[in-house]
């Protein structure tokens, strides 16, 4: 893939928006725009080649096919959204990005070798590079209103193996027992129990357990939540404090931006007419 695009704003792989010959086999249409079988098979070859290089090849070839088709559909949706907003890529912008890609690989010889290793023709790479530039422009627009401050909560939790134990410990806290002390003694979460179960400050979308996050954001500062079950156990959760405009850490900012993009992409897909002709 072209490596001069900010990874946070890049969705891989991007679809080449070409006219498909009437007699060419199709794998999907996205709002009546066709994705050809030839394009799909080329992307599948690249995808599997990349997996082999990273030694991350999953055993299920059907999963490869599904992932590649889904990415092609998503990429077509992004390109369509960009064009609907009036975004274009000028010849100068494309030439500059192409030159940067050659330079990043040590010159023309290194770039030619990279194209060969990654199963690209020059035309394919230029087309994909143009789609990447378009994707960056529309994603920058989507993220334009995402600032460096957001609503955040400071919370703490205790996680145990059974609901009965969680209910017993919660009752003790309600009766006046110290939350931090109980967390240090009983919590199964080794990463937080030594600091009293403190999860720190975080915005929506940062916790890996959405059900736990939803519960704590519904609580008022100081309020103890109901027992929450997740895949790792039963949680006693407490909202310590809330700040409606707290500055995001760099890591949290990335998560928030990703969440905004994911929501936008989900909306694009829900409004699109998509037909798939392969499984």
Specify the CATH number for the domain of residue 156. 3.10.50.40
| Cα–Cα–Cα angle for 236, 190, 173, rounded to 5 degrees | 30
- The Cα–Cα gap between 227 and 210 comes to 14
User: Do you know the residue count of the chain?
Assistant: 279
Is residue 126 domain-shared with residue 158, that is, in the same domain? no
Domain holding 203, by residue range, is: 150-247
Same domain? For 141 and 262 the reply is yes
| 2 occurs within a structural domain | no
| Per-residue confidence in pLDDT tens, the chain, 279 aa | 343 333 333 333 333 444 455 567 998 999 999 999 999 999 998 888 888 777 665 556 667 788 899 999 999 999 999 999 999 999 999 999 999 999 999 999 999 999 999 999 999 999 999 999 999 999 999 998 888 899 999 999 999 999 999 999 999 999 999 999 999 999 999 999 999 999 999 998 888 899 999 999 999 999 999 999 999 999 999 999 999 999 999 988 998 898 899 999 999 999 999 999 886
Question: 186 and 164 in contact (C-beta within 8 Å)?
Answer: no
Query: What is residue 151's three-state secondary structure?
Result: strand
pLDDT of residue 58: 59
The CA-CA-CA angle for residues 275, 277, 278, to 5°, reads 125
Residues 83 and 182 in one domain: no
- Asked if residue 17 and residue 128 are part of one domain, the reply reads yes
Chain centroid to Cα 63, Å, comes to 18
What is the number of domains present in the chain? Answer: 2
> Quick check: is 98 in a domain?
yes
- pTM greater than 0.85 (yes/no): no
Q: What is the DSSP letter of 5?
A: S
Give CA–CA dist 63/80, Å, rounded: 26
User: Quick one: 61 and 166 in the same domain?
Assistant: no
217 and 102 co-located in one domain: no
Same domain for 132 and 188?
no
């Amino acid at each position: 893939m072209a490596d001069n695009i900010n990874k946070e704003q890049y969705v891989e792989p991007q679809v080449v928006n070409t006219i498909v010959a009437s007699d060419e086999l199709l794998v999907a249409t996205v709002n009546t725009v066709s994705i050809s079988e030839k394009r799909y098979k080329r992307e599948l070859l690249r995808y599997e080649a990349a997996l082999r290089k990273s030694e991350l090849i999953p055993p299920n070839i059907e999963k490869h096919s599904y992932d590649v088709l889904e990415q092609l559909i998503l990429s077509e949706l992004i390109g369509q959204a960009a064009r609907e907003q009036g975004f274009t890529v000028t010849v100068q912008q494309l030439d500059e990005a192409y030159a940067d890609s050659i330079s990043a690989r040590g010159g023309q010889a290194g770039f030619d070798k990279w194209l060969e290793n990654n199963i690209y023709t020059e035309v394919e790479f230029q087309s994909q590079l143009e789609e990447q530039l378009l994707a960056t422009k529309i994603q920058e627009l989507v993220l334009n209103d995402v600032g460096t401050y957001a609503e955040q909560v400071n919370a703490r939790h205790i996680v145990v193996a059974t609901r009965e134990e969680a209910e017993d410990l919660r009752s003790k806290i309600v009766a006046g027992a110290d939350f931090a002390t109980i967390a240090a003694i009983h919590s199964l979460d080794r990463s937080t129990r030594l600091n009293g179960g403190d999860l720190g400050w975080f915005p929506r979308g940062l916790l890996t357990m959405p059900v736990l996050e939803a519960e704590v954001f519904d609580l008022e500062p100081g309020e103890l939540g109901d027992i929450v079950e997740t895949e790792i156990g039963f949680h006693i959760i407490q909202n310590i404090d809330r700040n409606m405009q707290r500055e995001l850490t760099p890591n949290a900012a990335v998560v928030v931006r990703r969440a905004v993009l994911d929501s936008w992409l989900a909306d694009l897909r829900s409004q699109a007419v998509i037909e798939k002709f392969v499984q």
